[in-house]
């Protein structure tokens, strides 16, 4: 029997989840239907998305071996800890909190609801923009293997990527409907990760000694190191854990914890492997898209790039789902997903949302900078600062003085890192904007 605690003033009551009349908010999407294993694959799809092809360049190059390895291990541990805090609050107060903003609003009030929704929207918008940049980069990388004629430029491929993402969003009504696509995503991820691993390993064995020093001037090293710290937390966190947990079957807290343990054990191993081997093979010349570094058969590299493109389309749908859920619920979209009215709504609204994403992606296609900025202004606040403070407020009567001090220490440290990372990310974007024009063909 699974029990949950409901705080009611100074006394805490314990109820059986199966018999407790939980207040569940209205939603147009399915909830409580998925196994913990499916939720684990949703989380792992995010970790092993095509973004992993950039961590050798955006994390390891600015931090080098010692900083990069220790940083990734620490980011794994603290991200698992912060996400378990959020997962444990899913049923807080006898109410099921199926959205991040619902949980914040329940604990703090209406202003926190609006602020959290704003932070989450910015977080997911920038992640989705990054996925469209990735999709465009992968398509261009495949194209130049056959025709390096400079006719098709990166913004064109980004536009194609955005269009395909919109088609997928129209056909898949909600997060739980991904099902078989999660298996497809896993296969696609394995293809480009294995190709990148094998070809990097082959290049590294044949290559002369590499330079692993941190490039740049003293000042630029400081800013790139801080930016890399933001990339570290970006790698592991979704900013939408309650929305994913909403899809999980009862017992919802226990099952979500199983999904998180799966994500942060088996799920991180492919990411570790490709990140470390890629940096080992190319040193500080590793690019922000590893498949641009590797040497091998043209057809193998092309296949890996196409897989990275397709996986980005699937992964984007996960991170766009909170916005889709909000819009579908707000406008009362119910019934068959393929009713003319519902199809028309998705074509218009989701297509319009992704058109804006695509425009921003083509305008500023600086992937590493987007990762840093996302980590700074939304991942740090949502996943670390807010998680620790919400848990502190929700469980204040049960925590010891040392536990309260621990959470306050986390809040202060991550608050400082968020400010530092924001300054660093804005500087990186400003520098790249001077180096490259808008709609740059990188």
Contacts 24+ apart (CB under 8 A), 176-181: 176/29, 176/30, 176/33, 176/34, 176/247, 177/30, 177/337, 178/42, 178/314, 178/317, 178/318, 179/38, 181/314, 181/317
Confidence of residue 168 (pLDDT cuts 50, 70, 90): very high
**Which tens digit of pLDDT belongs to each residue from 100-116?**
888 998 999 888 888 88
Residue 436's pLDDT is: 65
C-alpha–C-alpha distance, residues 282 and 293, integer Å:
8
**Which tens digit of pLDDT belongs to each residue from 253-291?**
999 999 999 999 999 999 999 999 999 999 999 998 899
pLDDT above 90: percentage of residues in the chain: 48
Domain range list for the chain: 36-435
Residue 28's pLDDT is: 66
Across the chain, mean pLDDT equals: 86
Residues 6+ apart with CB under 8 A from 348: none
> What pTM did the predictor assign?
0.85
Q: Is the per-residue pLDDT at 20 higher than 60? A: no
Residue 281's pLDDT is: 96
Q: Please list the residues that pair with 425 across neighbouring strands.
A: none
C-alpha–C-alpha distance, residues 409 and 412, integer Å:
5
Confidence of residue 7 (pLDDT cuts 50, 70, 90): very low
- Topology of domain 36-435 in CATH is Amino acid/polyamine transporter I (1.20.1740)
Q: Is the per-residue pLDDT at 19 higher than 70? A: no
């Amino acid at each position: 029997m699974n029990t949950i605690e409901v705080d009611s003033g100074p006394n805490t009551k314990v109820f059986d989840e199966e018999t407790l009349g939980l207040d569940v908010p209205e939603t147009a999407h399915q909830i409580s239907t998925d196994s913990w294993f499916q939720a684990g694959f949703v989380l792992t799809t995010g970790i092993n998305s095509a973004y992993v092809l950039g961590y050798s360049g955006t994390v390891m190059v600015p931090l080098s071996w010692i900083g990069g390895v220790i940083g990734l291990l620490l980011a794994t541990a603290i991200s698992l800890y912060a996400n378990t805090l959020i997962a444990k609050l899913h049923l807080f107060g006898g109410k099921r909190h199926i959205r991040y903003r619902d949980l914040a609003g329940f604990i703090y009030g209406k202003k926190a609801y609006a602020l959290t929704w704003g932070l989450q929207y910015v977080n997911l918008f920038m992640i989705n923009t990054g996925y469209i940049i990735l999709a465009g980069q992968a398509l261009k990388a495949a194209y130049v293997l056959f025709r390096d004629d400079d006719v098709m430029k990166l913004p064109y491929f980004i536009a194609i990527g955005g269009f395909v993402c919109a088609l997928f969003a129209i056909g898949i009504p909600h997060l739980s409907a991904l099902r078989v696509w999660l298996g497809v995503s896993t296969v696609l991820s394995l293809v480009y990760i294995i190709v990148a691993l094998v070809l990097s390993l082959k290049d590294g064995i044949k290559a002369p000694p590499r330079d692993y020093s941190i490039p740049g001037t003293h000042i630029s090293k400081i800013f790139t190191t801080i930016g890399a710290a933001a990339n570290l937390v970006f790698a592991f966190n979704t900013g939408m854990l309650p929305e994913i947990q909403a899809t999980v079957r009862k017992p919802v807290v226990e099952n979500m914890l199983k999904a998180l343990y799966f994500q942060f054990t088996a799920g991180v191993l492919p990411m570790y492997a490709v990140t470390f081997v890629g940096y080992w093979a190319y040193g500080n010349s590793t690019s922000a898209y590893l498949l641009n570094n590797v040497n091998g058969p043209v057809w193998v590299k092309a296949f890996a790039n196409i897989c990275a493109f397709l996986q980005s389309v699937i992964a984007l749908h996960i991170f766009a789902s909170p916005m889709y859920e909000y819009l579908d619920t707000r406008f009362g979209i119910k019934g068959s997903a393929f009713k003319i009215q519902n199809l028309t709504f998705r074509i218009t609204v989701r297509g319009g949302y992704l058109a804006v994403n695509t425009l921003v992606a083509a305008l500023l296609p600086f992937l590493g900078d987007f990762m840093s900025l996302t980590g700074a202004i939304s991942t740090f606040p949502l996943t670390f600062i807010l998680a620790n403070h919400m848990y502190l407020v929700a469980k204040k009567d049960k925590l010891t003085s040392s536990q309260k001090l621990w959470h306050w220490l986390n809040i202060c440290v991550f608050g400082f890192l968020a400010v530092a990372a924001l300054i660093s990310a804005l500087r990186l974007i400003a520098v790249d904007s001077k180096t490259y024009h808008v709609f740059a063909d990188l």
